[in-house]
């Protein structure tokens, strides 16, 4: 009994030690998630660049509910830039259910590299081939010259334009689909209930016709009544239909 108890204690302690070691290693290899969209752990970005990144990220979130994080690190250790970005993306929880549309743009100094990691739902707007083309055309030429701020701004501005355009297209498609479904459901309803629909239309027409007929008849009766009682004016200046007042001679 005591041996089993001691073995259980050793297993529990080993598990706790392993968990602490893994957490500590993650803290050493991967920096904590920032409170905002900028994580300049390599110290490459100036204040104005950080303000621009915040502005673009805020606009993307308000317009498209798309989260953008820009991070810089001095080193990715033994990881490739792609593997480090993927691990950092998962550790920061950028692909969680609460933040489904997210992108992490990671810039590394050593070894030099840049990568954009996308969540699953963010791939509706972008894919890996598109992000690679954007980095090659807008970012890498600047990064090779040491112009990190300029390259990052060029890349995120291009990403913002593409994401907003595609988001607007998705909204338009949903509107058209909704209108199409409404018209289709209305036509199906009419076909399935055609006799009821025709009967309903006939009843409405009869009600309207009866209303105008009654109104016209009432107007005609009022007109005849007025001409009989007050009509027939005479040349003697008396009121129409009245007998002139005669005075007796004295």
Query: What is the per-residue pLDDT across 111-160, written as a single tens digit (0 to 9) for each?
Result: 999 999 998 888 888 888 999 999 999 999 999 999 999 999 999 999 99
CA R_g for the chain:
41
Q: Please list the residues that pair with 108 across neighbouring strands.
A: 73, 113
**Nearby residues of 85 by Cβ (< 8 Å), 6 or more positions away:** 104, 106, 115, 116, 117
Is residue 199 assigned to a domain? Answer: no
Is residue 127 assigned to a domain? Answer: yes
Is residue 111 assigned to a domain? Answer: yes
State the number of CA atoms in the 13 A half-sphere of 39 facing the CB: 23
Is residue 104 assigned to a domain? Answer: yes
Split into its structural domains, the chain has a count of 1
Is residue 101 assigned to a domain? Answer: yes
Is residue 8 assigned to a domain? Answer: no
Q: Which residues of the chain have pLDDT under 70?
A: 1-28, 94-99, 176-197, 218-250
Cis peptide before 149 (omega within 30 of 0): no
SS3 95: coil
Is residue 114 assigned to a domain? Answer: yes
Domain range holding 154? 34-168
CATH of the domain at 92: 3.10.310.50
pTM above 0.75, yes or no: no
Residue 244's pLDDT is what?
A: 41
Q: What would the 3-class secondary structure string for 35-62 be?
A: CCCEEECCCCCCHHHHHHHHHHHHHHHH
Task: Of 126, 127, 138, give the one whose Cα is nearest residue 167.
Answer: 126
Residue 220's pLDDT is what?
A: 60
């Amino acid at each position: 009994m005591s041996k089993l108890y001691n073995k259980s204690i050793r297993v529990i302690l080993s598990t706790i030690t392993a968990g602490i070691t893994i957490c500590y290693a993650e803290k050493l290899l991967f920096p904590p998630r920032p409170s905002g969209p900028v994580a300049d752990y390599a110290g490459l970005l100036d204040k104005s660049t950080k303000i621009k990144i915040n502005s673009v990220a805020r606009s993307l979130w308000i317009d498209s509910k798309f989260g953008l994080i820009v991070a810089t690190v001095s080193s990715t250790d033994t990881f490739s830039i792609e593997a480090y970005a993927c691990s950092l993306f998962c550790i920061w929880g950028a692909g969680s259910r609460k933040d489904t549309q997210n992108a992490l743009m990671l810039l590394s100094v050593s070894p030099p590299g840049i990568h954009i990691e996308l969540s699953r739902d963010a791939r509706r707007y972008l894919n890996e081939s598109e992000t690679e083309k954007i980095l090659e055309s807008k970012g890498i030429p600047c990064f090779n010259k040491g112009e990190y701020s300029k390259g990052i701004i060029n890349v995120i501005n291009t990403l913002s334009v593409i994401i907003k355009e595609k988001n607007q297209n998705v909204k338009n498609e949903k509107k058209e689909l909704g209108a199409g479904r409404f018209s289709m459901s209305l036509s199906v309803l009419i076909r399935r209930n055609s006799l009821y629909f025709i009967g309903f239309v006939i009843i409405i027409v009869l009600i309207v016709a009866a209303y105008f007929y009654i109104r016209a008849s009432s107007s005609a009766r009022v007109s005849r009544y007025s001409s009989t009682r007050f009509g027939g004016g005479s040349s003697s200046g008396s009121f129409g239909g009245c007998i002139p007042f005669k005075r007796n001679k004295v």
